[in-house]
Structure 1
Amino acid sequence: MFPVSGPGYTVLVVEDDERIRRVTVQALRESGFDVSESGDGRSALEHLRSNRTDLVVLDIGLPDIDGLDLLRRLRGEQEIPIILLTARRGETDRVLGLELGADDYMTKPFSSRELVARVRTVLRRSSRDHRGRSRLEFDGLVIDGGTREVIVRGTVVELTAKEFDLLAHLASAPRQVFSRRQLLQAVWHAAPNWQAESTVTEHIHRLRHKIEDDPARPRRLRTVRGVGYRFEP
Protein backbone atom coordinates (compact mmCIF):
# COMPACT_ATOMS: atom_id res chain seq x y z
CA MET A 1 0.00 0.00 0.00
CA PHE A 2 1.40 3.40 -1.00
CA PRO A 3 0.92 6.29 1.42
CA VAL A 4 -1.05 9.33 0.30
CA SER A 5 1.28 12.13 -0.77
CA GLY A 6 1.32 15.16 1.51
CA PRO A 7 2.61 18.68 0.88
CA GLY A 8 6.16 19.26 -0.36
CA TYR A 9 8.25 17.04 -2.61
CA THR A 10 7.17 13.44 -3.15
CA VAL A 11 9.75 10.72 -3.79
CA LEU A 12 9.17 7.12 -4.88
CA VAL A 13 11.86 4.60 -3.83
CA VAL A 14 11.89 1.50 -6.05
CA GLU A 15 14.19 -1.09 -4.46
CA ASP A 16 13.72 -4.84 -3.97
CA ASP A 17 16.25 -5.17 -1.14
CA GLU A 18 14.09 -4.54 1.92
CA ARG A 19 16.96 -3.39 4.14
CA ILE A 20 18.26 -0.84 1.63
CA ARG A 21 14.72 0.33 0.88
CA ARG A 22 13.92 0.78 4.58
CA VAL A 23 17.10 2.79 5.26
CA THR A 24 16.61 4.94 2.15
CA VAL A 25 12.95 5.66 2.92
CA GLN A 26 13.74 6.55 6.53
CA ALA A 27 16.56 8.92 5.54
CA LEU A 28 14.35 10.74 3.05
CA ARG A 29 11.41 11.00 5.46
CA GLU A 30 13.65 12.36 8.21
CA SER A 31 14.75 15.01 5.70
CA GLY A 32 11.16 16.13 5.17
CA PHE A 33 10.19 14.33 1.97
CA ASP A 34 6.88 12.55 1.42
CA VAL A 35 8.06 9.07 0.48
CA SER A 36 6.34 6.12 -1.21
CA GLU A 37 8.02 2.79 -1.78
CA SER A 38 7.88 -0.24 -4.04
CA GLY A 39 9.79 -3.50 -4.24
CA ASP A 40 9.21 -4.19 -7.93
CA GLY A 41 8.81 -2.45 -11.27
CA ARG A 42 5.17 -3.24 -12.01
CA SER A 43 3.79 -1.73 -8.82
CA ALA A 44 6.08 1.27 -9.32
CA LEU A 45 4.64 1.85 -12.80
CA GLU A 46 1.08 1.61 -11.47
CA HIS A 47 1.87 4.11 -8.74
CA LEU A 48 3.56 6.59 -11.07
CA ARG A 49 0.66 6.50 -13.53
CA SER A 50 -1.86 7.46 -10.86
CA ASN A 51 0.03 9.58 -8.31
CA ARG A 52 1.99 12.81 -8.49
CA THR A 53 5.67 12.06 -7.93
CA ASP A 54 8.50 14.60 -8.06
CA LEU A 55 11.44 12.17 -8.20
CA VAL A 56 12.17 8.44 -8.42
CA VAL A 57 15.05 6.63 -6.73
CA LEU A 58 15.31 3.54 -8.94
CA ASP A 59 17.30 0.33 -8.39
CA ILE A 60 18.57 -1.27 -11.61
CA GLY A 61 18.39 -4.86 -10.29
CA LEU A 62 14.63 -5.34 -9.85
CA PRO A 63 13.12 -8.86 -9.76
CA ASP A 64 10.49 -8.41 -12.49
CA ILE A 65 11.48 -5.53 -14.77
CA ASP A 66 15.12 -4.58 -15.31
CA GLY A 67 15.69 -1.09 -13.92
CA LEU A 68 17.06 0.19 -17.23
CA ASP A 69 13.99 -1.14 -19.05
CA LEU A 70 11.80 0.63 -16.48
CA LEU A 71 13.80 3.83 -16.99
CA ARG A 72 13.23 3.52 -20.73
CA ARG A 73 9.47 3.12 -20.21
CA LEU A 74 9.28 6.09 -17.86
CA ARG A 75 11.21 8.31 -20.24
CA GLY A 76 8.67 7.43 -22.93
CA GLU A 77 5.81 8.60 -20.70
CA GLN A 78 6.99 11.51 -18.54
CA GLU A 79 9.88 13.80 -17.61
CA ILE A 80 10.16 12.89 -13.93
CA PRO A 81 13.71 13.15 -12.48
CA ILE A 82 15.32 9.75 -11.81
CA ILE A 83 18.33 8.74 -9.70
CA LEU A 84 19.61 5.22 -10.41
CA LEU A 85 20.92 2.84 -7.73
CA THR A 86 23.01 -0.18 -8.66
CA ALA A 87 25.47 -2.77 -7.40
CA ARG A 88 26.85 -3.06 -10.94
CA ARG A 89 30.16 -1.26 -11.44
CA GLY A 90 30.58 -1.68 -15.19
CA GLU A 91 30.80 1.43 -17.37
CA THR A 92 28.26 0.06 -19.88
CA ASP A 93 25.33 0.34 -17.47
CA ARG A 94 26.38 3.80 -16.35
CA VAL A 95 26.65 5.11 -19.91
CA LEU A 96 23.38 3.45 -20.93
CA GLY A 97 21.66 5.00 -17.92
CA LEU A 98 22.93 8.40 -19.04
CA GLU A 99 21.74 7.93 -22.59
CA LEU A 100 18.31 6.79 -21.44
CA GLY A 101 17.91 10.01 -19.47
CA ALA A 102 18.89 9.28 -15.86
CA ASP A 103 19.55 12.46 -13.88
CA ASP A 104 22.09 10.95 -11.48
CA TYR A 105 23.63 7.61 -10.50
CA MET A 106 24.81 6.02 -7.24
CA THR A 107 26.71 2.77 -6.77
CA LYS A 108 26.01 0.55 -3.75
CA PRO A 109 26.97 0.73 -0.98
CA PHE A 110 26.20 4.44 -0.66
CA SER A 111 25.81 7.00 2.11
CA SER A 112 22.24 7.94 3.03
CA ARG A 113 23.39 11.53 3.57
CA GLU A 114 24.88 11.66 0.08
CA LEU A 115 21.69 10.23 -1.44
CA VAL A 116 19.56 12.86 0.32
CA ALA A 117 21.93 15.57 -0.90
CA ARG A 118 21.69 14.33 -4.48
CA VAL A 119 17.90 14.13 -4.29
CA ARG A 120 17.80 17.76 -3.16
CA THR A 121 20.20 18.82 -5.92
CA VAL A 122 18.25 17.08 -8.68
CA LEU A 123 14.94 18.50 -7.42
CA ARG A 124 16.35 22.03 -7.26
CA ARG A 125 17.69 21.67 -10.78
CA SER A 126 14.40 20.27 -12.03
CA SER A 127 12.44 23.15 -10.49
CA ARG A 128 14.84 25.65 -12.02
CA ASP A 129 14.52 24.01 -15.46
CA HIS A 130 10.72 24.18 -15.28
CA ARG A 131 10.77 27.86 -14.33
CA GLY A 132 13.16 28.65 -17.17
CA ARG A 133 11.18 27.03 -19.97
CA SER A 134 10.86 29.16 -23.08
CA ARG A 135 10.13 28.98 -26.81
CA LEU A 136 13.08 29.47 -29.15
CA GLU A 137 12.37 30.17 -32.82
CA PHE A 138 14.81 30.17 -35.70
CA ASP A 139 14.39 29.94 -39.47
CA GLY A 140 12.52 26.64 -39.93
CA LEU A 141 13.23 25.44 -36.40
CA VAL A 142 11.16 25.81 -33.21
CA ILE A 143 12.28 24.56 -29.78
CA ASP A 144 9.38 24.77 -27.33
CA GLY A 145 10.50 24.40 -23.71
CA GLY A 146 6.92 24.30 -22.42
CA THR A 147 5.73 21.36 -24.52
CA ARG A 148 9.26 19.96 -25.05
CA GLU A 149 8.55 19.76 -28.76
CA VAL A 150 10.94 20.44 -31.62
CA ILE A 151 9.41 21.44 -34.93
CA VAL A 152 11.44 21.37 -38.13
CA ARG A 153 9.82 23.12 -41.10
CA GLY A 154 6.36 22.58 -39.65
CA THR A 155 6.85 18.93 -38.66
CA VAL A 156 7.27 17.74 -35.07
CA VAL A 157 10.35 15.53 -34.71
CA GLU A 158 10.70 12.92 -31.98
CA LEU A 159 13.60 13.50 -29.60
CA THR A 160 14.65 11.67 -26.45
CA ALA A 161 14.69 13.64 -23.20
CA LYS A 162 18.44 14.21 -23.31
CA GLU A 163 18.46 15.02 -27.03
CA PHE A 164 15.95 17.77 -26.33
CA ASP A 165 17.89 19.04 -23.30
CA LEU A 166 21.14 19.14 -25.28
CA LEU A 167 19.60 20.97 -28.24
CA ALA A 168 17.81 23.47 -25.98
CA HIS A 169 20.99 24.16 -24.02
CA LEU A 170 23.04 24.85 -27.15
CA ALA A 171 20.28 26.90 -28.80
CA SER A 172 19.79 29.05 -25.69
CA ALA A 173 23.29 30.48 -26.25
CA PRO A 174 23.69 30.83 -30.05
CA ARG A 175 27.27 30.76 -31.37
CA GLN A 176 28.70 30.10 -27.91
CA VAL A 177 31.16 27.21 -28.00
CA PHE A 178 30.71 24.46 -25.39
CA SER A 179 33.22 21.70 -24.70
CA ARG A 180 31.99 18.14 -24.31
CA ARG A 181 32.87 18.30 -20.62
CA GLN A 182 30.80 21.47 -20.18
CA LEU A 183 27.85 19.85 -21.93
CA LEU A 184 28.09 16.74 -19.76
CA GLN A 185 27.98 18.89 -16.65
CA ALA A 186 25.21 21.21 -17.89
CA VAL A 187 22.90 18.67 -19.55
CA TRP A 188 23.62 15.33 -17.88
CA HIS A 189 24.84 16.63 -14.48
CA ALA A 190 26.93 13.48 -14.44
CA ALA A 191 28.91 12.31 -11.43
CA PRO A 192 32.68 12.56 -12.15
CA ASN A 193 33.25 8.79 -12.09
CA TRP A 194 30.83 8.02 -14.92
CA GLN A 195 31.19 10.90 -17.33
CA ALA A 196 31.83 9.74 -20.89
CA GLU A 197 32.49 12.44 -23.48
CA SER A 198 31.49 10.01 -26.24
CA THR A 199 27.92 10.33 -24.92
CA VAL A 200 27.83 13.95 -26.14
CA THR A 201 29.31 13.02 -29.51
CA GLU A 202 26.67 10.33 -30.05
CA HIS A 203 23.80 12.63 -29.09
CA ILE A 204 25.05 15.35 -31.46
CA HIS A 205 25.21 12.74 -34.22
CA ARG A 206 21.60 11.67 -33.57
CA LEU A 207 20.36 15.27 -33.38
CA ARG A 208 21.95 16.13 -36.72
CA HIS A 209 20.06 13.29 -38.38
CA LYS A 210 16.81 14.58 -36.89
CA ILE A 211 17.02 18.36 -37.41
CA GLU A 212 19.56 19.01 -40.17
CA ASP A 213 18.73 19.04 -43.90
CA ASP A 214 22.15 17.48 -44.56
CA PRO A 215 23.56 15.77 -41.44
CA ALA A 216 26.96 15.37 -43.11
CA ARG A 217 27.17 19.16 -43.61
CA PRO A 218 25.28 20.53 -40.58
CA ARG A 219 24.00 24.09 -40.57
CA ARG A 220 22.83 24.29 -36.95
CA LEU A 221 24.99 21.99 -34.85
CA ARG A 222 28.55 22.91 -35.75
CA THR A 223 31.74 21.23 -34.59
CA VAL A 224 34.55 23.46 -33.37
CA ARG A 225 37.63 21.31 -33.83
CA GLY A 226 39.59 20.63 -30.68
CA VAL A 227 37.00 22.41 -28.53
CA GLY A 228 33.40 21.16 -28.83
CA TYR A 229 30.14 22.36 -30.40
CA ARG A 230 28.11 25.49 -31.04
CA PHE A 231 24.60 26.25 -32.31
CA GLU A 232 24.20 28.49 -35.35
CA PRO A 233 20.90 30.44 -35.39
Structure 2
Amino acid sequence: MKRIFLLEDDLSLLNGLSFAIKKQGYELDVARTTLEAEEMWNQDRYNLAILDVSLPDGSGFDFCKRIRETSNLPIMFLTAADEETDIIMGLDIGADDYITKPFKLAVFLSRINALLRRSNDFNSSLSELKSGDICINILESEVYKKDNLLELTASEYKLLRMFIENHDQVLSSEQILSRLWDCEEKYIDNNSLTVYIRRLRIKIEDDPGNPKRIITVRGMGYKWNSQN
Protein backbone atom coordinates (compact mmCIF):
# COMPACT_ATOMS: atom_id res chain seq x y z
CA MET A 1 0.00 0.00 0.00
CA LYS A 2 1.27 3.46 -0.91
CA ARG A 3 2.06 5.77 2.00
CA ILE A 4 1.78 9.55 1.74
CA PHE A 5 3.43 12.17 3.94
CA LEU A 6 1.39 15.34 4.49
CA LEU A 7 2.86 18.50 6.04
CA GLU A 8 -0.09 20.80 6.74
CA ASP A 9 -1.03 22.96 9.73
CA ASP A 10 -4.58 23.96 8.77
CA LEU A 11 -6.86 21.92 11.05
CA SER A 12 -9.96 22.94 9.11
CA LEU A 13 -8.44 21.29 6.04
CA LEU A 14 -6.69 18.29 7.58
CA ASN A 15 -9.73 16.19 8.47
CA GLY A 16 -11.20 16.42 4.99
CA LEU A 17 -7.88 15.75 3.27
CA SER A 18 -7.09 12.82 5.52
CA PHE A 19 -10.49 11.24 4.89
CA ALA A 20 -10.26 11.73 1.11
CA ILE A 21 -6.71 10.40 0.82
CA LYS A 22 -7.39 7.33 2.94
CA LYS A 23 -10.59 6.67 0.98
CA GLN A 24 -8.38 6.37 -2.11
CA GLY A 25 -6.65 3.44 -0.41
CA TYR A 26 -3.48 5.22 0.66
CA GLU A 27 -1.90 5.25 4.10
CA LEU A 28 -1.20 8.70 5.49
CA ASP A 29 1.12 10.28 8.05
CA VAL A 30 0.55 13.92 9.02
CA ALA A 31 2.92 16.53 10.46
CA ARG A 32 1.77 20.05 11.39
CA THR A 33 5.15 21.74 11.86
CA THR A 34 8.58 21.45 10.29
CA LEU A 35 9.88 20.17 13.64
CA GLU A 36 7.34 17.33 13.61
CA ALA A 37 8.20 16.66 9.97
CA GLU A 38 11.91 16.39 10.73
CA GLU A 39 11.22 13.94 13.55
CA MET A 40 8.88 11.79 11.45
CA TRP A 41 10.60 11.86 8.08
CA ASN A 42 11.97 8.62 6.66
CA GLN A 43 12.47 8.75 2.88
CA ASP A 44 12.22 4.97 2.52
CA ARG A 45 8.80 4.96 4.17
CA TYR A 46 6.93 7.23 1.76
CA ASN A 47 5.87 7.24 -1.90
CA LEU A 48 4.75 10.89 -2.06
CA ALA A 49 5.20 14.07 0.01
CA ILE A 50 2.55 16.81 0.07
CA LEU A 51 3.79 20.07 1.60
CA ASP A 52 2.27 23.37 2.67
CA VAL A 53 4.52 26.42 2.30
CA SER A 54 3.61 28.63 5.27
CA LEU A 55 4.04 26.76 8.55
CA PRO A 56 4.14 27.91 12.19
CA ASP A 57 7.87 27.28 12.54
CA GLY A 58 9.25 27.56 9.04
CA SER A 59 8.67 27.02 5.34
CA GLY A 60 7.70 23.99 3.29
CA PHE A 61 10.23 25.21 0.72
CA ASP A 62 13.02 24.43 3.18
CA PHE A 63 11.66 20.97 3.89
CA CYS A 64 11.37 20.30 0.16
CA LYS A 65 15.06 21.16 -0.23
CA ARG A 66 15.87 18.78 2.62
CA ILE A 67 14.00 15.95 0.91
CA ARG A 68 15.70 16.64 -2.42
CA GLU A 69 19.13 16.28 -0.81
CA THR A 70 18.61 12.53 -0.52
CA SER A 71 15.48 11.49 -2.45
CA ASN A 72 13.76 11.86 -5.83
CA LEU A 73 10.30 10.75 -4.67
CA PRO A 74 7.39 12.85 -6.01
CA ILE A 75 6.72 16.09 -4.11
CA MET A 76 3.54 18.17 -4.35
CA PHE A 77 2.96 21.62 -2.85
CA LEU A 78 -0.58 22.32 -1.61
CA THR A 79 -0.61 25.93 -0.47
CA ALA A 80 -2.30 29.32 -0.43
CA ALA A 81 0.97 30.87 -1.68
CA ASP A 82 -0.28 31.50 -5.20
CA GLU A 83 2.07 34.21 -6.45
CA GLU A 84 3.88 33.31 -9.66
CA THR A 85 7.22 33.73 -7.88
CA ASP A 86 6.14 31.18 -5.24
CA ILE A 87 5.09 28.65 -7.87
CA ILE A 88 8.32 29.05 -9.81
CA MET A 89 10.32 28.77 -6.57
CA GLY A 90 8.53 25.55 -5.64
CA LEU A 91 9.16 23.97 -9.02
CA ASP A 92 12.75 25.21 -9.19
CA ILE A 93 13.72 23.63 -5.87
CA GLY A 94 12.42 20.24 -6.94
CA ALA A 95 8.63 19.94 -6.59
CA ASP A 96 6.80 17.86 -9.19
CA ASP A 97 3.47 19.63 -8.80
CA TYR A 98 2.09 22.81 -7.23
CA ILE A 99 -1.59 23.22 -6.33
CA THR A 100 -2.93 26.46 -4.90
CA LYS A 101 -5.78 26.88 -2.42
CA PRO A 102 -8.71 26.95 -2.85
CA PHE A 103 -8.73 23.81 -4.98
CA LYS A 104 -11.15 21.19 -6.22
CA LEU A 105 -10.81 17.96 -4.25
CA ALA A 106 -11.36 15.78 -7.31
CA VAL A 107 -8.51 17.52 -9.15
CA PHE A 108 -6.25 17.21 -6.10
CA LEU A 109 -6.89 13.46 -5.81
CA SER A 110 -6.43 13.00 -9.55
CA ARG A 111 -3.03 14.67 -9.38
CA ILE A 112 -2.01 12.45 -6.44
CA ASN A 113 -3.03 9.36 -8.39
CA ALA A 114 -1.18 10.61 -11.48
CA LEU A 115 2.06 11.30 -9.59
CA LEU A 116 2.04 7.88 -7.94
CA ARG A 117 1.02 6.05 -11.09
CA ARG A 118 3.59 7.77 -13.25
CA SER A 119 6.34 7.07 -10.75
CA ASN A 120 5.53 3.37 -11.10
CA ASP A 121 4.77 3.26 -14.82
CA PHE A 122 8.35 4.02 -15.70
CA ASN A 123 9.38 0.51 -14.67
CA SER A 124 9.49 -1.73 -17.73
CA SER A 125 11.14 -4.79 -19.21
CA LEU A 126 13.88 -2.60 -20.71
CA SER A 127 16.94 -2.30 -18.53
CA GLU A 128 18.36 0.94 -19.93
CA LEU A 129 18.06 3.70 -22.50
CA LYS A 130 21.07 5.47 -24.00
CA SER A 131 21.51 8.62 -26.03
CA GLY A 132 25.01 9.98 -26.42
CA ASP A 133 26.58 10.21 -22.99
CA ILE A 134 23.20 10.04 -21.22
CA CYS A 135 22.20 6.63 -19.86
CA ILE A 136 18.95 5.82 -18.06
CA ASN A 137 19.01 2.77 -15.81
CA ILE A 138 15.30 1.96 -15.94
CA LEU A 139 15.28 -0.75 -13.30
CA GLU A 140 16.80 1.61 -10.74
CA SER A 141 15.23 4.83 -12.15
CA GLU A 142 18.70 6.37 -12.27
CA VAL A 143 20.25 8.65 -14.87
CA TYR A 144 23.96 8.92 -15.62
CA LYS A 145 25.93 11.44 -17.66
CA LYS A 146 29.40 10.22 -18.52
CA ASP A 147 29.07 7.68 -15.69
CA ASN A 148 28.16 10.42 -13.18
CA LEU A 149 24.85 9.91 -11.37
CA LEU A 150 22.45 12.84 -11.87
CA GLU A 151 20.05 13.88 -9.11
CA LEU A 152 16.73 14.21 -10.92
CA THR A 153 13.27 14.68 -9.48
CA ALA A 154 10.49 12.28 -10.47
CA SER A 155 9.12 14.73 -13.04
CA GLU A 156 12.57 15.46 -14.47
CA TYR A 157 13.21 11.73 -14.82
CA LYS A 158 9.88 11.17 -16.57
CA LEU A 159 10.44 14.13 -18.86
CA LEU A 160 13.93 12.99 -19.84
CA ARG A 161 12.78 9.45 -20.50
CA MET A 162 9.92 10.73 -22.65
CA PHE A 163 12.34 12.81 -24.72
CA ILE A 164 14.81 9.97 -25.26
CA GLU A 165 12.09 7.45 -26.08
CA ASN A 166 10.80 9.91 -28.71
CA HIS A 167 14.20 11.18 -29.85
CA ASP A 168 14.38 13.47 -32.86
CA GLN A 169 10.60 13.92 -32.81
CA VAL A 170 9.00 17.28 -32.05
CA LEU A 171 6.72 17.05 -29.02
CA SER A 172 4.26 19.87 -28.46
CA SER A 173 3.74 21.31 -25.00
CA GLU A 174 0.28 19.76 -24.97
CA GLN A 175 1.66 16.31 -25.79
CA ILE A 176 4.29 16.54 -23.07
CA LEU A 177 1.89 17.75 -20.41
CA SER A 178 -0.80 15.21 -21.26
CA ARG A 179 1.68 12.34 -20.95
CA LEU A 180 3.12 13.63 -17.69
CA TRP A 181 -0.17 14.58 -16.07
CA ASP A 182 -2.73 12.08 -17.39
CA CYS A 183 -4.61 14.63 -19.49
CA GLU A 184 -4.76 17.12 -16.60
CA GLU A 185 -2.49 19.48 -18.51
CA LYS A 186 -5.15 22.19 -18.51
CA TYR A 187 -4.27 22.73 -14.85
CA ILE A 188 -0.57 23.24 -15.63
CA ASP A 189 0.41 26.21 -17.78
CA ASN A 190 3.26 26.48 -20.24
CA ASN A 191 5.25 28.62 -17.82
CA SER A 192 5.46 25.62 -15.47
CA LEU A 193 6.63 23.40 -18.32
CA THR A 194 9.28 25.99 -19.14
CA VAL A 195 10.54 25.68 -15.57
CA TYR A 196 10.75 21.87 -15.88
CA ILE A 197 12.64 22.15 -19.17
CA ARG A 198 15.08 24.74 -17.80
CA ARG A 199 15.71 22.68 -14.68
CA LEU A 200 16.40 19.55 -16.72
CA ARG A 201 18.71 21.40 -19.09
CA ILE A 202 20.79 22.66 -16.17
CA LYS A 203 21.42 19.06 -15.15
CA ILE A 204 22.07 17.40 -18.51
CA GLU A 205 23.39 20.06 -20.89
CA ASP A 206 27.09 20.97 -21.09
CA ASP A 207 26.01 24.57 -21.68
CA PRO A 208 22.40 25.08 -20.48
CA GLY A 209 22.32 28.54 -22.05
CA ASN A 210 23.05 26.98 -25.44
CA PRO A 211 21.29 23.60 -25.29
CA LYS A 212 22.29 20.88 -27.73
CA ARG A 213 20.15 18.02 -26.41
CA ILE A 214 16.71 19.48 -25.61
CA ILE A 215 16.01 21.73 -28.57
CA THR A 216 13.25 24.35 -28.65
CA VAL A 217 11.39 24.25 -31.97
CA ARG A 218 9.74 27.64 -32.15
CA GLY A 219 5.99 27.55 -32.48
CA MET A 220 5.94 23.76 -32.25
CA GLY A 221 7.48 22.46 -29.03
CA TYR A 222 10.63 20.59 -28.06
CA LYS A 223 12.66 17.67 -29.34
CA TRP A 224 15.54 15.52 -28.13
CA ASN A 225 18.56 15.74 -30.41
CA SER A 226 20.10 12.26 -30.44
CA GLN A 227 23.15 13.47 -32.38
CA ASN A 228 24.66 15.08 -29.28
TM-score of the pair, normalised by structure 2: 0.79
CA distance in 1, matches of 2:103, 2:208: 46
Which residue number corresponds to residue 148 of structure 1? 142
Q: CA RMSD in A?
A: 3.0
Structure 1 gaps of 5+ residues are: 1-7
CA distance in 2, matches of 1:223, 1:231: 9
1:2-48 deviations in Å (ceiling 9; x for gaps): xxxxxx22122211112212221122223332221110123223323
- How far is 1:108 from its partner? 1.8
CA distance in 1, matches of 2:34, 2:125: 32
| Bigger Cα Rg | 1
Contact 2:5 2:50 survives alignment (8 Å): yes
Counterpart code for 1:149: V
CA distance in 2, matches of 1:167, 1:19: 39
Which residue number corresponds to residue 206 of structure 1? 202
CA distance in 2, matches of 1:214, 1:117: 33
- How far is 1:156 from its partner? 0.6
1:30 aligns with 2:23: yes
* SS across alignment from 1:56: strand
Which residue number corresponds to residue 221 of structure 2? 228
CA distance in 2, matches of 1:141, 1:164: 12
- How far is 1:79 from its partner? 2.0
Contact 2:52 2:79 survives alignment (8 Å): yes
1:123-177 deviations in Å (ceiling 9; x for gaps): 222221244774122443323232513222xx41544425444332211222111
CA distance in 1, matches of 2:160, 2:55: 32
* SS across alignment from 1:199: helix
CA distance in 1, matches of 2:208, 2:46: 41
The number of residue pairs the alignment matches comes to 221
* SS across alignment from 2:30: strand
Give the alignment partner of residue 192 of structure 1, picking from 177, 181, 186: 186
1:18 aligns with 2:11: yes
CA distance in 2, matches of 1:191, 1:45: 33
- How far is 1:115 from its partner? 2.8
Give the alignment partner of residue 94 of structure 1, picking from 79, 84, 87: 87
- Worse-superposed segment, 53-62 or 39-48: 39-48
Counterpart code for 2:50: V
CA distance in 1, matches of 2:162, 2:46: 25
Contact 2:201 2:208 survives alignment (8 Å): no
* SS across alignment from 1:49: coil
Contact 1:105 1:191 survives alignment (8 Å): no
Contact 1:28 1:116 survives alignment (8 Å): yes
Give the alignment partner of residue 168 of structure 2, picking from 161, 165, 175: 175
Identity of aligned residues (%): 28
Pair 212,22 (structure 1): closer, same or farther in 2 beyond 3 Å: same
CA distance in 1, matches of 2:52, 2:15: 13
CA distance in 2, matches of 1:214, 1:116: 35
Counterpart code for 1:79: N
Structure 2 gaps of 5+ residues are: none
TM-score of the pair, normalised by structure 1: 0.78
Q: Which runs of 4+ in 1 moved over 6 A?
A: none
Pair 44,193 (structure 1): closer, same or farther in 2 beyond 3 Å: same
Pair 188,68 (structure 1): closer, same or farther in 2 beyond 3 Å: farther
